[in-house]
Amino acid sequence: MSRRILLVEDDAETADYILKGLREEGFTAEHVVDGRDGFYAASGEGFDAIIMDRMVPGMDGLSVIKALRAASISTPIIILSALSHLDERVKGLRAGGDDYLTKPFGYSELSARLENLMRRRPGPEIETRLACGDLSIDLLSRRVSRDGRTLDLLPREFKLLEYLMRHKDRVVTRTMLLEQVWDYRFDPHTSVVDTHISRLRKKIDEGFAQPLLHTLRGTGYRLSQEP
């Protein structure tokens, strides 16, 4: 059964854009315009994730989220908002949202975050070893090796690699990395991420036949055996 996503969004153009993307990816998407309808839909049926616009008619997005959380509905929620400043983001997350995406955004950014949220859902399983092809990291000894060779990583490189490993085969965007690896929520410095990635790439890919760390044009990166 395909995964079900609820979209609460009153702007028709944005909604079409998101729905088209979701359906292309094989999700079953349900769309409501009104916050109150969104609340009823979310509390009634089992959705895998909710995309919630911050400002919708009927009942405002944050109130819907607070009401859902109060009713012990823990479906992952990603908030969409034209309110970009830092305080709004903090408010959104405090209200019970799991992620906050500022409009305008690219669909790939939304998709990557959605994947990330839905994957996070089963709960943090205790892993001590992560692997991608012949690259593996030991989370306890903090040892990284590829094809039997030990790689010498700086702590910050290890942190980045660990995040990429946990999101193996998935797209992670620059802003996701900034936010989730470094807790840094600003666009002006996204090129900083490229610097980190190119250094990491040098250590894990250079001298090996098959590259694992791929750059996705205009979107971000993916750690995967697949090209």
Side-chain half-sphere CA neighbours of 141 within 13 A: 10
Residue 1 beta carbon to other proteins: minimum distance, rounded to whole angstroms: 35
Both structure tokens of 115? 């994947």
The conformational region for residue 207 under phi > 0 = left, psi -120 to 50 = alpha, else beta, is left
Residue 75 or 102: the one with the smaller Cβ distance to other proteins is: 102
Residue number, 104 or 207, with CB nearest to other proteins: 104
Q: Which two tokens stand for residue 139?
A: 């989370």
Least Å distance between CB 31 and other proteins?
A: 26
Smaller CB distance to other proteins: residue 22 or 178?
Answer: 178
Q: Which CB atom, from 48 or from 162, has the smaller least distance to other proteins?
A: 162
Q: Which is nearer to other proteins, 46 or 188 (CB)?
A: 188
CB of 199 to other proteins, least distance (A): 6
Least separation in angstroms between CB 22 and other proteins: 21
Label the pairing between strands 99-102 and 171-173. Answer: unpaired
Min dist CB 86 to other proteins, Å, is 4
The residues of the shown chain that bind other proteins, judged by CB under 8 A, are 84-87, 89-90, 102, 104, 106, 155-156, 182-192, 195-196, 199, 217-218
What backbone phi and psi angles, to 5 degrees, belong to 41? Answer: -60, -45
